[in-house]
Amino acid sequence: MRIRRKMLAGYGVAFALLGVVLLWAIANLVSLGRATDAILRENYRSILAAEQMLQTLARQDKLVRDSAMGLDAEALPAFRKEEAAFFESLAKAKDNITIHEEGGVLETVETEYLAFLGAANGVLMGGTASGPNPLADYQSAVLPGGDRAADACRALKSLNEDHMFSASMNAGRVASRAIWSTLAVGLVAMVLGIGFSLGFSRRLVHPISELTRATRRLTEGDYDVRVPAGGADELGALAQGFGAMAQRLGEYHKMNLRRLLSEQRQTDAVLKSISDGIIVLDADFHITRVNPAAANLFRCEAGEPASPHLLEVVRDQKVFDYVKRQAESGPSAGLNEEDRVLALEREGNVRYYLYDARPVQSEDKATAGTVLVFRDITRLQELDRMKSEFVMAASHELRTPMTGLEMSLGLLEERVGETLAAEQSALLETARQDVARLKALINDLLDLSRLESGTIDLQLVRVPLKSIAGKTVSLFDAQARERGIHLSCDIPEEVAEVKADPNKIAWVLSNLVSNALRYVDAGGHITVSAEQAGDWVHVHVADDGKGIPEEYHARVFDKFIQVEGAAGTGGTGLGLAISREIVRAHRGAIWVDSSVGRGSTFTFTLPVFTMKTGDTA
Ligand code: ADP
């Protein structure tokens, strides 16, 4: 049955109960009406007739008495009129015999009245028949006859009054029975109605509650939930639809699960097969996955550990800061490779790991986590160290013969220079220049390898930057003037003193200024400036020379890197590498901003001198 029909049936039952109560009340009213009607019909009319008969009798009695006393000579016609009225009332009373004894009483009334009439007629007809004393006749025959007839009328009246009283008592009983029975029927109907409504509404709502419960279980992931099919109404159809939907969702969920599991297995296999250590972090830097290589490295559990914080496992603030920075600022904010090396001591050996962090972004571009990779570069570090040591040893060994060669060439030129032919003299000059270049290269190599291997100690002191820069720039004044280049040093007094090795910083500044002089044309400008930014002083060497293409911006600080077209300028390609090593040794950084044709600005940072670190002047 459809819900609408069910509801209509429910209303129908309620209306039927209401109808029963209504019918019952009407029936009671009808019976009450009947009871009161009986009073009127059965008794009141008889009482009225008895009363009229009594009055008629009284008037007739008076007429007879007046006539007997000679007071009313014309009493007869009036008497006849009253007589007719009496019989009329008597007929009415006879017409309305409703009580068992009433017939007998009326007979007595009629008999007594007729006797009264006989006596009265005798008196009224005028003394002839009745003798000379009509008054005596009246008193002896008429008056007692009239009294008897009146008594009979009164008996009729009181019989009806008694019956009326009992009928009214009966009507009262009927009324109170009607009230109570209507109340009882109403109550029964109400109880039945409430019971029916409760049962009916429960039956109606039951499938909806089942559906609600099933929906809740479905949202909790129970895809096996089903709703009993129920009836053939709309809710039954809904339950069937729900079952089909849950089944489909279950299948879809299983399919997704299978796909996810297979993807996870693939990822696991990939992670296991990678020899680099890989740690996967969530957005709060808690570890969600670790591959066996990383687990071995940090002695933690591979697979999915109980989400410890990165710092609990890696225990290196620098790594954590880097990861945090990468996660917050995106993959572009990187550190140089040299600054991303983690040294770990394992079984008495120190091993070096180059780490890198890649943020994982969610669909809304928020950082959902980070993948941290540790690559073992111990062998590369070792090779680098060996290379530096070899370069240092080779340059050291080469420097002495090269100095000797330079001196010999100088002496040769001095002694026989004037006797040589022009061609020979040019050859000698070329040899001298080559030796000078080689010597410069060997010196640079030696310096660089010393710096890289940490053999050169820094003499860190409290020093005003303005004085180092001023002195260094003044060394290049003559050269700049000669080439028509405007060289200036513009460092404000308020720039804080730095904690640095003055000779090494002068070396960096010399490299940068000499480079600028090399790549700035006549009429160009070179400016050395500085400003303070927090705990650091930024030193700039800016020129408006030929500039450096963007792809070289990071690489120019690597060894032997020369921008195309710069060869032949007499450089060794090591100046900027040496400068970077020196700046790094001061814990600072160096970079270049440049665009081709507009010039370059090299910037390096030095730490501001502070008393709290226990620095000594
Ligand atoms: P080099 O001894 O060759 O100058 P550097 O390491 O000092 O070696 O510089 C590397 C390269 O960077 C140079 O060969 C040059 O191409 C480029 N370079 C350095 N400074 C400047 C500059 N101020 N203007 C343009 N190019 C520059």
> Would you place residue 303 in the very low, low, confident or very high pLDDT band (cuts 50, 70, 90)?
low
- Highest mean pLDDT among 26-40, 448-462, 588-602 belongs to 588-602
CA-CA distance, 559 to 579, in Å (whole number)? 11
**In terms of Cα–Cα distance, which of 373, 344, 343 is closest to 279?**
373
For residue 498, give the H/E element and its range. Answer: strand 498-500
- Span between the terminal Cα atoms of the chain, in Å: 100
446 pLDDT higher than 50: yes
Ligand 1 close to Cβ of residue 526 (< 6 A): no
- Find all residues with CB under 8 Å of 63, minimum gap 6, and list them: 72, 75, 78, 79, 82, 124
Name the residue with higher pLDDT: 103 or 74.
103
**What is the predicted pLDDT for the residue at 509?**
96
CA-CA distance, 469 to 491, in Å (whole number)? 8
Task: Tell which atom from ligand 1 comes closest to the C-alpha of 520.
Answer: 24
> Would you place residue 566 in the very low, low, confident or very high pLDDT band (cuts 50, 70, 90)?
low
Name the residue with higher pLDDT: 145 or 453.
145
Over range 304-330, report the average pLDDT: 84
CA-only gyration radius of the chain, Å: 67
Ligand 1 close to Cβ of residue 519 (< 6 A): yes
- Highest mean pLDDT among 62-66, 100-104, 441-445, 504-508 belongs to 504-508
> Would you place residue 129 in the very low, low, confident or very high pLDDT band (cuts 50, 70, 90)?
very low
> Would you place residue 617 in the very low, low, confident or very high pLDDT band (cuts 50, 70, 90)?
very low
Ligand 1 centroid to 558 CA: how many Å? 11
> Would you place residue 530 in the very low, low, confident or very high pLDDT band (cuts 50, 70, 90)?
very high
> Would you place residue 96 in the very low, low, confident or very high pLDDT band (cuts 50, 70, 90)?
confident
- The percentage of the chain sitting over the pLDDT mark of 90, rounded to a whole number, equals 39
Ligand 1 close to Cβ of residue 556 (< 6 A): yes
**In terms of Cα–Cα distance, which of 506, 508, 517 is closest to 570?**
517
Structure tokens at 251: 């299948």
Ligand 1 close to Cβ of residue 323 (< 6 A): no
Contact present, 386 and 295 (Cβ < 8 Å): no
Ligand 1 centroid to 585 CA: how many Å? 21
Name the residue with higher pLDDT: 210 or 531.
531
CA-CA distance, 246 to 216, in Å (whole number)? 12
Lowest mean pLDDT among 28-42, 254-268, 399-413: 28-42
- The one-letter code for the residue type at 360 is V
Contact present, 507 and 578 (Cβ < 8 Å): yes
CA-CA distance, 491 to 60, in Å (whole number)? 157
Ligand 1 close to Cβ of residue 579 (< 6 A): no
Q: 34-69 pLDDT, tens per residue? A: 777 766 666 888 899 999 999 999 999 999 888 888
Q: 97-121 pLDDT, tens per residue? A: 888 888 999 999 999 999 999 888 8
241 pLDDT higher than 60: yes
CA-CA distance, 448 to 443, in Å (whole number)? 9
615 pLDDT higher than 60: no
Ligand 1 centroid to 583 CA: how many Å? 17
> Would you place residue 616 in the very low, low, confident or very high pLDDT band (cuts 50, 70, 90)?
very low
Instruction: Kindly give the residue spans of alpha helices, DSSP state H, lying in 286-377.
Output: 292-298, 310-314, 317-329
Over range 470-492, report the average pLDDT: 95
CA distances from 147 to 75, 110, 385, 539 (A): 20, 13, 163, 154
Ligand 1 centroid to 487 CA: how many Å? 18
Q: Whose CA is nearest to atom 19 of ligand 1?
A: 515
Task: Tell which atom from ligand 1 comes closest to the C-alpha of 599.
Answer: 24
> Would you place residue 330 in the very low, low, confident or very high pLDDT band (cuts 50, 70, 90)?
low
- The one-letter code for the residue type at 238 is L
Contact present, 2 and 234 (Cβ < 8 Å): yes
Q: 169-209 pLDDT, tens per residue? A: 888 888 888 889 889 988 998 999 888 888 888 887 888 88
Ligand 1 centroid to 150 CA: how many Å? 159
Ligand 1 close to Cβ of residue 546 (< 6 A): yes
**What is the predicted pLDDT for the residue at 583?**
93
Greatest distance between any 2 Cα atoms in the chain? 224
Neighbour tally for 433: CB within 10 Å: 12
> Would you place residue 230 in the very low, low, confident or very high pLDDT band (cuts 50, 70, 90)?
low
CA-CA distance, 223 to 225, in Å (whole number)? 5
329 pLDDT higher than 80: no
Ligand 1 close to Cβ of residue 524 (< 6 A): no
**What is the predicted pLDDT for the residue at 550?**
92
Ligand 1 centroid to 574 CA: how many Å? 9
Q: Whose CA is nearest to atom 13 of ligand 1?
A: 562
What average pLDDT is seen over the chain?
87
Ligand 1 pocket test, pick from 485, 562, 582, 604 with the greatest ligand atom count within 8 Å of Cβ, gives 562
* β-strands 277-282, 367-376 pairing: antiparallel
489 pLDDT higher than 60: yes
Ligand 1 centroid to 573 CA: how many Å? 7
Q: Residue 493, exposed/middle/buried by CB under 10 A (0-12, 13-18, 19+)?
A: exposed
> Would you place residue 568 in the very low, low, confident or very high pLDDT band (cuts 50, 70, 90)?
low
Neighbour tally for 416: CB within 10 Å: 12
Q: Whose CA is nearest to atom 22 of ligand 1?
A: 516
Beta bridge partners of 367: 361
**What is the predicted pLDDT for the residue at 335?**
67
**What is the predicted pLDDT for the residue at 512?**
97
**What is the predicted pLDDT for the residue at 368?**
84
Over range 18-28, report the average pLDDT: 89
164 pLDDT higher than 90: no
CA 59, 60, 61, 67: dihedral to nearest 10 degrees?
Answer: 110
Name the residue with higher pLDDT: 192 or 71.
192
CA distances from 57 to 46, 62, 92, 239 (A): 16, 9, 16, 92
Ligand 1 pocket test, pick from 556, 564, 574, 603 with the greatest ligand atom count within 8 Å of Cβ, gives 556
Ligand 1 close to Cβ of residue 573 (< 6 A): yes
